[in-house]
Structure 1
Amino acid sequence: MEVADQEALVELSVHEGRTVEWAARLTPEAHDALVYARTTAVPTPWAEPAEHERLVELRPSQMDALRRYLSLTQRLRVPPAAGLAERVRTAYFDRAKNRWITCLAEEQATSAAYAFFLHSVHDSVAEANRFAREYGTVYHVDTSTGRLRPARLR
């Protein structure tokens, strides 16, 4: 963008019949950037999740934990649910909310809860707690068997 100098402002003021205090013109590069931005496909969040899915909004730290979990797929004994990697890959980032938005089926949400559990063992429990609080899915130790299992809180 080029900002008008004083001489251009005087000419514009005469042409407009009023005082022009500020003016700018798009440079060719700025014009091209606007054209490019209009043609770039921007993903949009889902209006409604499918019947068997729920809308999930993840904080960046949660998405980081999920991506880490998915990067280990070949080495894990409990693999991610089918389709979870695709949902993570195609998630929409809402800048205003600072959240990654996607839709997850129940099995995928349970798999995400498992990823957050694994994250809590080595790092922070905040991601698992937040997911449990907001979506009601958590992994915990069953006291009767001593084994880890998923649970619905709602």
Structure 2
Amino acid sequence: MLSGDLRPNHQQGVESVAAQGLAELADREMRAELSAHEGRPILWAARLTPQGHDVLAYTDASPAPVVQLQGLVDGEQLIELRPAEMDALRVYMSVEARLRVPQAEGLAERVRTACFDRPGNRWQLCLTAEQIESVAYAFYLRSMGGSVAEANRFGREYGVVFHADRLTGSLRLICLR
């Protein structure tokens, strides 16, 4: 991008991206070379870094965010997860091949296409009962690794938790509602 190709507010945006390491601003020597090449003075220029190219490639390959959820299909429930909860769920999705208890069918697609509600600061997913149980299991696994916050909130909000039965030592799904 050369100085004449951008409006001032866009130039500020590029400078902000440069501060994140996604673009680099041309130094004096590069601007002199560009000026000679263009046949006019170049006072400002920027180009994407390799990481900037990767961000564009990644976001281009990602599904477009859904502005609004479509209506629920029979048997589905709207689940809203905090960002930290969605992060924990994504970790669970990433270890699928190593798990002995299979994830619910279709959960991976629902997680991949979840939409983020900015005003509510929540990820929204429409899930079946089986998928909700898988989410509860993911949060149970998280609770065994250190944080019980996700499992506790999910149990309060959606009434589904996993607990170890102290008498038998087996894991049980408990529906609180």
Same fold by TM-score greater than 0.5: yes
**Amino acid aligned to 2:160:** T
Task: Give the structure 2 partner of residue 127 of structure 1.
Answer: 150
Q: How does 1:106-125 map to 2 (within 5 A)?
A: 106-125=129-148
**Is the partner of 1:79 in helix, strand or coil?**
coil
1:144, distance to aligned residue in structure 2 (A): 4.3
The runs of at least 4 consecutive aligned structure 1 residues that moved more than 6 Å come to none
Q: Deviations over 1:32-89 (max 9, x none)?
A: xxxxxxxxx5412325311100000000111011100010000000121111110000
CA distance in 1, matches of 2:68, 2:170: 37
**Amino acid aligned to 2:120:** K
Conserved 8 A contact 1:48-1:55 = no
CA distance in 1, matches of 2:164, 2:131: 20
1:28, distance to aligned residue in structure 2 (A): 9.2
> Matched residues, percent identical?
58
RMSD: 2.0
1:96 pairs with 106, 119, 143, which one? Answer: 119
CA distance in 2, matches of 1:45, 1:102: 11
**Is the partner of 2:168 in helix, strand or coil?**
coil
**Amino acid aligned to 1:126:** A
Instruction: Give 5+ residue unaligned stretches, structure 2.
Output: 1-5, 11-63
1:94, distance to aligned residue in structure 2 (A): 0.8
